[in-house]
A and B are shown apart, each in its own frame.
Chain A
C-alpha cells in the first residue's frame, strides 16, 4: 500500500485538488479576501523586523489583532461620513453608451432615465410597505411644468419648467433645445422617433415654437399612451449647443461623441465613468425642485452575481442587481438585507413561430399549452416568486381586473387533452422541435429543462439550443426559429393598445410569433384613438380571446420583480418599465 501511494503522484495530486475544493467550500470569498488583505499589510510592515518564519508568524498574529481593531474603528467613522448620502449599487455589466436615442439594455436605460430629463414621469402611488407602485395614471412634470391637451386631444401645449439649466454648460434650457432634441430624433431614426411617431408627431413641422418656454405639438394622435410614452427614457432633453459643438460633417448629430459624453440635465448627472468598473452620478445641483436624498450614486460593475451578493451581505453596497433565485434566498436570510418581491407584469413566454412547421398547426400549439405543468413552473422553477400567467395581458396589469379578463384563459395542465390535440393535429405519437434559449441565463436553463420533461410526457421531443443574444434577436426578427424562450418580457407601458401594437398587429415591431388575424388588426386600429377605458373593454376582450385561442405563445408565468436591497434603504417606487428611479430613494436609520 505504501508503495502504491509512493508510485501514484497523479492520484495524490487529484486527492490534494479535491481536498482543496472541499476546504474552500463553506468559506465565503469575502472573508478570505479580508484575511489576505490584513495579513499582506502586516507582513509588509514587519518584513524588516523579522527574519525567520516562526518569528514572523508570531509578530504578525499579535499585530493583526491590534490593527484589525484600529481599522474597524476607522472604517466605521468613515462609513458614517461617506455613506450617509451615497447610494452604492452593484450592477452586473457596464453601461453601453450615453446617447438616449439608442438605449437598449436595461442598465443603459436605467442610467439614461436618471441622468436625462424626460418631459414627465409617473408619480409614486400608495405605499405597499417597503415599496410603492408608480401611479400610472398620474404624472409629474420634469422639464415640462404644465401640459394642456386641446379638447379633441390633437394639440398639446407644453410649458417648460422655470429655471432649468444644463449643469455642464450653465446654459438655461429653452424651447430651442426641445426642438433640437426632436429634430435629432428624426435625424437619427431610432427610439425617440418611434415614440414620437406613436403619438402622431412624424415631422418637425408639427412642432410650433411660441416663445422661449412654450411649444405646441400640432396634429398629434389622440391616445391613452401619449403621456406614458413621453416618460420614456429615450425622450431625454439634450443640450443642443453642446451636441452641435461636437458635430462633424460625417456625423452631423454627434452620435459618436454623445455615446461617450454627457449632455443632459436629469435629476442626476454623470460625474465620472471609469469604463468597465464604475460610474458615479451626482445629484443635479441646478434642479429647481427638492434635491434627492442621495447626493451620490455609485454604480459599481461586479460581473459575478455571487460577488454582488457578498458585497451586499457585507454592507459594502446598498443594492445588488440581477441575483439568481438562490442568491436572493440567501440575501433575504442575511442580516440587514431584504429582497423586494414585487408582483409585476414580467412575462415568461415561449414564442411559437406560427408561420413555419410544425407550429403553423394550431393543434400542436394547443397541445403544448396543455402539456405545461404551470404549478411546477410557478412554485418550483420560480420558487413562488411568480403567478400563473393568463394570456397576453398580465394578471398584474391594472387592465386585467378592469376588463374582467379572468374568463378569457383556456389552458390548464392536462396531458390527456394535450394528447387529444396531438392526435387532432395528425401527430398522435408526438413530434420533434427545437427551442432556442438565451445562453447563460439561469432561469432559461431551468424553464427549458422543465418544459422538455413536460413535453416528453406526451411524446414530444424538444431539443434545447442555447444561443447568444444576437442570434436570438436575429432568429426572432427573421422568424427563423421554431420556438424561443424569452424571459422578462415587460411592456414599458401598461396599456392594452401598447401591448397589441407591439405584439399582435400583423408584422408589427416585435410580432415574434408571426401571428396574424384580420379581426385583431381591425380592433387595434379602431381602438387606437379611444381614450375611454369603458369603450375599449369590449373590443379588447374579443381581441384577447382570439389571441389566446390561437395559442401563438405559451404564457408560462408572470414573474415578480425582485431586488436585493439593504434594509435601511426606503422609498423604492416600482415603475412599469422596471427601471429604478434614484430620486425617490432614501436611507433611514
Chain B
C-alpha cells in the first residue's frame, strides 16, 4: 500500500531513508561503504600492496587492526582498498549490462517480431551458462589478449578488471532484457505510444522517451539486487584465481589467500574480507526490497 507520506518525500530523502528502519540502516551502511571506497586511499594505515615479509600472518593488533596475511600485507588496508575495487567493478559492470539489457529489452518489446525472437534466443544462450563457467570462458577467450591494453585507464588498469567487468555485464544483460521486455510488452499498443508514432517520433525516440520511463521502477529494483550479486560474482571469480592482478586487493582473492591458512587457526585473513562482502550484499538489499513503492510511476507523486 502506498501512503501519501511515503511518496511526497524528496528524492534525496527517498534515497537515504528507507520505508522501514531496517532498510534505512542498510542504506546507511551502503553509503558508508561507498564513502570508504571514495576516501579509501586516505584512510588506509599501510600500503595495501607492499608486503612486510618479516611480519607475516600477524594476528590483529594495534599496529595491524585486522592482522596481516601470508605475504605480510596489512588486511585492514586491503579490505578498505578492496572496497573501491569491488564496488567500482560491480557498479560499472551492472550499469553496462543493465543499461544495454534494458535498452534492448525495450526495443524488443517495441519491435516484436524477428528482433524480439533473435534477442530472446541470444539471452537464452547466455543464460544457459552457469555464471562461473561463463566467467571462465570469457577469461580463457579474452584474458590473454592485448586488445584492451590501449584502453586501460583509471580503475581499469589491467586486463583482468576489464574482463571481470565484461563478465558482470554479460551476466546482467539477459536479466535486464527479459525483465524490461516483459514489463513493456503490454504497452506496445498503448494509446500514448500510438500518439507518439503519429507525432512522427522514431522507434528509438519512443523507446527512450516513453518505454524506458515506464520500466524505471523495475530497473531500479533489479539494479540493487544485481549489484549485490555482482559483488559475489567478482569475489567468486577472484576466489578461483581469475581477475585482479596480484597483489592488488580484492575481497574474493583475499578470502582465497586466507583460506589456505585458516586450518592453522589464522582466521583473520579470510574473516574480514568475508565480512566486507556480507556487509556489502546486506547493505544493497536495503534498496531492492520495496524500492518500487516510492518511485511507482503510477503513484500520485510521479
Contact = CB atoms under 8 A, between A and B. Distances in A.
Given A26-B265, A453-B50, A464-B246, A442 B260 contact: yes
Interface string B241-261: 100011100000000000011
A415 to B, nearest CB: 15
A21 B274 contact: yes
B256 to A, nearest CB: 10
B49 interface: yes
Contacts of B262: 24-25
Contact of A7 (B22, B158, B281): B22
Contact of B263 (A22, A29, A442, A453): A29
Interface string A434-465: 00000110100110111011001000000111
Interface stretch (B51-59, B127-135, B198-206): B51-59
B16 interface: no
B260 A306 contact: yes
Nearest to B285: A10
A516 interface: no
Q: SS class of chain A's interface: helix, strand, loop or mixed? A: helix
B267 interface: yes
Given A11-B282, A14-B282, A466-B241, A452 B54 contact: no
Given A29-B263, A306-B264, A449 B247 contact: yes
Given A25-B265, A326-B261, A10 B282 contact: yes
B25 interface: yes
B71 A326 contact: no
Nearest to A373: B53
A326 B267 contact: no
A474 to B, nearest CB: 11
Contacts of B275: 18
Interface string B151-165: 000000010000000
Contacts of B73: 449
A392 B271 CA distance: 43
Interface in A377-428: 377, 379-381
Contact of B264 (A21, A326, A442): A326
A3 B22 contact: yes
Contacts of A22: 267, 271
A377 B261 CA distance: 21
- Of B21, B247, B279, the most chain A CB neighbours within 10 A belong to B247
A14 B279 CA distance: 8
Nearest to B23: A7
Given A10-B282, A25-B265, A380 B72 contact: yes
Contacts of A18: 271, 274-275, 278
Interface string B269-290: 0110011001101100100000
B245 A14 contact: no
A452 B22 contact: no
A493 interface: no
A305 B57 CA distance: 17
In this complex, the member of A327, A330, A446 whose beta carbon has the largest number of chain B beta carbons within 10 angstroms is A446
Contacts of A381: 53
Contacts of A52: none
B241 A446 contact: no
A446 B22 contact: no
Contacts of A377: 53
A442 B70 contact: yes
Contacts of B49: 449, 452-453
A17 interface: yes
Contacts of B271: 18, 21-22, 25
A28 interface: yes
Contacts, number: 102
A306 B263 contact: yes
Contacts of B267: 21-22, 25-26
Contacts of A24: 262
Given A306-B260, A463-B245, A326 B57 contact: yes
A440 B53 contact: no
A150 to B, nearest CB: 54
Contacts of B61: none
Interface string A305-344: 1100010000000000000101100100000000000000
B51 A453 contact: yes
A446 B71 contact: yes
B142 to A, nearest CB: 14
Contact of A28 (B54, B241, B263): B263
B20 interface: yes
Interface in A1-27: 3-4, 7-8, 10-11, 14, 17-18, 21-22, 24-26
A381 B247 CA distance: 15
Most buried by A among B53, B241, B279: B53
Nearest to A471: B144
A11 B21 CA distance: 14
B281 A448 contact: no
B246 A376 contact: no
Contacts of A305: 260
Which of the listed residues B25, B47, B278 has the most CB atoms from chain A within 10 Å of its own CB? B278
A310 to B, nearest CB: 8
Contacts of A445: 70-71, 246-247
Given A18-B278, A28-B263, A449 B241 contact: no
Nearest to B73: A449
Interface in A455-494: 456, 463-466
A330 B261 CA distance: 11
Contacts of A453: 47, 49-51
A17 B278 contact: yes
Nearest to B52: A380
A14 B265 contact: no
B72 A21 contact: no
Contacts of B22: 3-4, 7-8
A373 to B, nearest CB: 9
Nearest to A3: B21
Contact of A380 (B25, B54, B263): B54
Nearest to A330: B264
Residue of B70, B264, B282 with highest tally of chain A CB at under 10 A: B264
A326 B285 contact: no
A306 B279 CA distance: 29
A450 B281 contact: no
A10 B26 CA distance: 11
Given A8-B282, A18-B274, A442-B70, 14 more contacts: A4-B25, A25-B262, A25-B265, A25-B271, A306-B263, A379-B53, A379-B54, A380-B56, A446-B51, A446-B53, A449-B73, A453-B47, A453-B49, A464-B247
6 contacts: A10-B282, A21-B271, A306-B260, A380-B72, A446-B53, A463-B158
Interface of B: 20-22, 25-26, 47, 49-54, 56-57, 70-73, 158, 241, 245-247, 260-265, 267, 270-271, 274-275, 278-279, 281-282, 285
Top 8 closest pairs, chain A to chain B, by CB: A380-B53, A25-B267, A14-B278, A306-B263, A449-B247, A7-B22, A453-B50, A449-B51
